[in-house]
Structure 1
Amino acid sequence: MSATESISSCGRCGKPANLQCPKCVELKLPREGAAFCTQDCFKASWSSHKSVHQKAKLSSLGTGTPAVQNSASPNEGWLYCLKKGQARTPKIPFFDWTGTLRPYPISSKRIVPDHIDLPDWAIDGIPKIEPNSDLQHIVEIKTTEQIERMRETCRIAREVLDAAARVIRPGVTTDEIDRVVHEATITAGGYPSPLNYHFFPKSCCTSVNEVICHGIPDARKLEDGDIVNVDVTVYYKGVHGDLNETYFVGEVDEASRRLVQCTYECLEKAISIVKPGVRFREIGEVINRHATMSGLSVVKSYCGHGIGELFHCAPNIPHYARNKAVGVMKAGQTFTIEPMINTGVWRDRMWPDGWTAVTADGKRSAQFEHTLLVTETGVEVLTARLPSSPSMFPWLKS
């Protein structure tokens, strides 16, 4: 075993590792996935690890250059994600997949220019202010100045999502969608909030078919008949704006069309009751009623949330019935509503990457989200569609 130049994660157990497979060094393969913490871990992994060398030799025959570690990878540096974004592997992880979708390799982290204002997790992946803030327990009433910044940021977030929507078609990879989101956010002077948040590796979430939420953009090409949710959050002038929509890719079957439309309607019906004096728990009642009337189920593991100078804070907004959410809406509060609706059971499973939540039965899921402001008389949808927003939903056409 050779000593690596810097500490990586062990390819077997994930612990810090500074030993590297000598054959990988000889073949000039990336260190990630070839580092091990001890000789014992290296020996235990050898039977599976050695296949990397064989693939490398086969794919480099006749080229005279080191091969990519994974034959499915578009170019060097593309690897599968593990450990909530903290590790990479050249091989697809073992998992009893619930549906037909599989993870693909992801590209390396995108660059953020020096002039962009960063949230406190941007460098090391760890939010510092958010977890210990009083606003995890108290719902903040925003000042006029904060609201104005929220309006500006949410408008940018809407424009970024619209830019992503315009490129969605069969043959486009979700990584390409992520590139569009990243570049549009940077161009507007913002930071893509998901990037390195608790080590999330990309600038947006792309959730395809049975993925409920937090799908990681990767090398998979969208296929005719897919549905894909794109979840965008922008950090600008010290505040976050968060929204998502689910889109059709090419010609989609009728069941998927009904699912997406019903999910859109669930969000619209929930927004319609938002005003001072309404209990947060009532949002779930409205959503659950509409979904179950259509024979669909509501995800319980993920909720809407307060938002502002913090990405996630109080209030907690469950989307299901008979929830225990505490509190009453007051003017000046900002939060998201983001129902996730499934065609089958509501239960979810987590992929080996630690982020991708999928339906337990492999059936499809859809989601829509807005950032909202409670006003004196009702609600303002801060991430509302603009006159310039692309026409993506047949039911909105007059």
Structure 2
Amino acid sequence: MKLLHLGDLHLGKYLGDFDLIADQEYILNQIIDLIDKESVDAVLIAGDVYDKSIPSESATRLLDRFLNQLAKRKVSTFLISGNHDSDDRLNYGSTLFESSGIYISAIFSGHLDKRVLRDGDTELNIYLLPFVKASQVRHFFPDKKIDNYEDAVRVILEDADIDKEKCNVLVAHQFVAGKGEDPALGGSESAGTQSVGLVEKIAYDLFDEFDYVALGHIHSPQRVGRDEVRYSGSPLKYSLSEVNNEKSVPIITMDEKKNVAIELFPLKPLRDMRHIKGKMEKLLDKANVSSTEDFIYATLTDEDIINDAMGIFQQTYPNTVKIDYDNAHTREIEQVDISKIAQNRSFTDLISDFYKTIYGCEISDEEMDVMRMAAREAGVINETD
């Protein structure tokens, strides 16, 4: 039996000012073609289906079309919520969808949802664990010690009474790490942390009773601890930190003897993401320009700030997302020790120095008044300052 593992679709996402819905439709169509070519039996979607809790109309239409394509092919689909999703919105119509082989578990109801997938002699138990917080789980298990996310997931799994003799698959959306190691992070995640997107880290050995664990939440495709515990990663690059990711989708082949084989199939985006660096004149020289429709992050090494750099860049690269600088001035700022910068300094002094450092001139009285007003509204200073 063949399972295709997806996660972190983030339908409706923008990259800077650029709507990615066409790029997302392109990659989902590519995945449908792969499902046809490889005769996939089921699709596992491990959360963060939408980018926002209130998705756009275009995002909901795209998901509708994708699920409809899967249903037409009689491909069973198992979908859970992630921390970006609205549980209630994603769960809407779930009972009706089951008649089309689409199984949605978006709201934790006190037990681990289980579905049985059969194909000839092969029978798989598919367990669906939507994104959960410790507080949610504590509500259903008031007598259990649940202090953190790991406790919460452990209690849920212990209560599920998993039959080790069966072939078991789990779909989950949590921050899972190996012993003494962190996953290679992407998107808005940052390394060396106990949590990602306010989701606390849990150990992968909680899932030892499962033959395959389809994870969502981390955007970089990778195994965690063992090959069978895996993040599919997002199907597209969604931030500069993912620029060097090779996006792929895993297809897992399983049989009744609990044999598991995993093959990664590369994905090719409609528009790639690139980070280019150098002097503007050189970067925009025709000899160095390529793939002009790609999403571009540009780091300029020119010593002087270039007026309307974005406008100039977008004449050649219309999908330029961001421009920053790496020169003597920015490196000098990076070396400034800010640990004591605010000691015995007034708000006015701090803002004046900052403004002069960045712009090379004094801040005007009108601009300072605006800064004071903003600081008061934010509670940084009081009305008398």
- Rg larger in structure: 2
* Category of TM-score, reference length = shorter chain: under 0.3
Q: With structure 1 as the length reference, what TM-score do the two structures score? A: 0.25
Higher strand share: 2
Relative contact order higher in (CA < 8 Å, ≥ 6 apart): 1
Q: With structure 2 as the length reference, what TM-score do the two structures score? A: 0.26
